[in-house]
Structure 1
Amino acid sequence: MKANSPWVFLPLVGFVLLAVLLASGLGRDPQELPSALVGKPVPSFSLSSLLTEETYTEDSLKGRWQLLNVWATWCPTCHVEHPYLLELAARGVAIAGLNYKDELPAARQYLANLGNPFTHVIVDADGQLGLDLGVYGAPETFLINPAGEIVLRHAGDLNARVWEEKFLPLLPAQAGQGKGGQ
């Protein structure tokens, strides 16, 4: 290979491209998963309730500001966030639960033992609604406006810091204070 051959620079070019690629990822929050559904309606669905004989549809998520929390009993982080969901519910925040790919008796027992923060619990046994929402895994929480549109998606546990930094700034004052505003 000649010293003035263009191939001599190939390792340098590769290194520069790799450095640029890695640098572009610095400063990004790994918990931040963009959602193509932000600003769009919740996808159509018709699924049963975990606790009643009802069937829920996307219309069940209209009419008020609310959270849609994706959870499962097999999810260790869901156990960690559960007390905070109970706290939000006690403050009047409306939270719909999406029980994701779970064993139904275990899910019922979980809520019976730990308390139920949910206004209603939708069963997504095969994970199709989760797939339509772009769920990577549990827990994930979506902020839904009264029109049934997704305003925010958060992957990971919902806690006081996340609530204050990400959710509250997007909510009208009455909804943000936990009144489940209209």
Structure 2
Amino acid sequence: MSRLLPFFAFLALCGLFGFGIWWNSHHDQTAIPSPLINKPVPDFALPELYDPAKVVTRKDLLGQPYLLNVFASWCIECAVEHPLLKTAIPALGIKLVGYNYKDQPGDAKAWLARHGNPYQVLVADVTGQTAIDFGVYAAPETFLIDAKGVIRYKRIGPFTPEVIEKELKPAIAALAKESQ
């Protein structure tokens, strides 16, 4: 029996290895669950990018659902995602709020001048302090927030047409059903 022990250990390792391969192929490794899902948006007061004397707060955005898109001029993936924000998001009929993250205002404005500005509201978090309350890891990240200010969905990484179709559209449709 003791001679079979290495054989059984080998089989156990093969089983664990096989399970690991199966697990990785069936689960999104970039998905990081947010503890803020179904919780109110953290309180914030951030200046508008183009008019820093104006401050936007959580309360200012209540009343209709919106997407809060975290972006920066230094973010390579933000430039990949940006054309979809300009074309696909308006077709969804939802407000798009830009959240400029850890960026110099001049750099952000130049980036938006070059790539276009799809945002109806645009705030700046130069230090990144408020982003900590949102649990932001990096840019791009996007939050779907309902009319009452509750986070319903979070996407880490850039949107793709497939993600918009399979994740974002159903999440927006669920909000519409809830409000009826």
For the superposition of Structure 1 and Structure 2, which TM-score range results when normalised by the shorter chain?
0.7 to 0.9
Write the distance in 1 (CA, Å) between the matches of 2:169 and 2:114.
Answer: 29
Write out per-residue CA displacement over residues 105-146 of structure 1, whole angstroms, 9 at most, x where no aligned residue: 010111122211111111111112221111111101111110
Deviation at 1:26, TM superposition (A): 4.8
2:109 is paired with a residue whose SS is: helix
**Amino acid of the residue matched to residue 112 of structure 1?**
A
Write the distance in 2 (CA, Å) between the matches of 1:119 and 1:89.
Answer: 12
Determine the structure 1 residue equivalent to 2:124: 123
Map residues 156-175 of structure 1 onto 2, 5 A cutoff.
Answer: 156-172=157-173
**Amino acid of the residue matched to residue 149 of structure 1?**
V
Determine the structure 1 residue equivalent to 2:96: 95
Write the distance in 1 (CA, Å) between the matches of 2:89 and 2:56.
Answer: 20
Deviation at 1:147, TM superposition (A): 0.6
Write the distance in 2 (CA, Å) between the matches of 1:25 and 1:160.
Answer: 23
Determine the structure 1 residue equivalent to 2:55: 55
Write the distance in 1 (CA, Å) between the matches of 2:176 and 2:111.
Answer: 28
Write the distance in 2 (CA, Å) between the matches of 1:43 and 1:108.
Answer: 26
Determine the structure 1 residue equivalent to 2:106: 105
Structure 2: 5+ residue stretches without partners: none
Deviation at 1:44, TM superposition (A): 0.9
Deviating beyond 4 angstroms after TM superposition, the runs of 4 or more aligned structure 1 residues are: 14-26, 173-176
Note the aligned Cα RMSD (angstroms).
3.0
Distance 1:152 1:110, change over 3 A: same
Using structure 2 for the length normalisation, give the TM-score. 0.81
1:64 is paired with a residue whose SS is: coil
Structure 1: 5+ residue stretches without partners: none
Write the distance in 1 (CA, Å) between the matches of 2:15 and 2:55.
Answer: 52
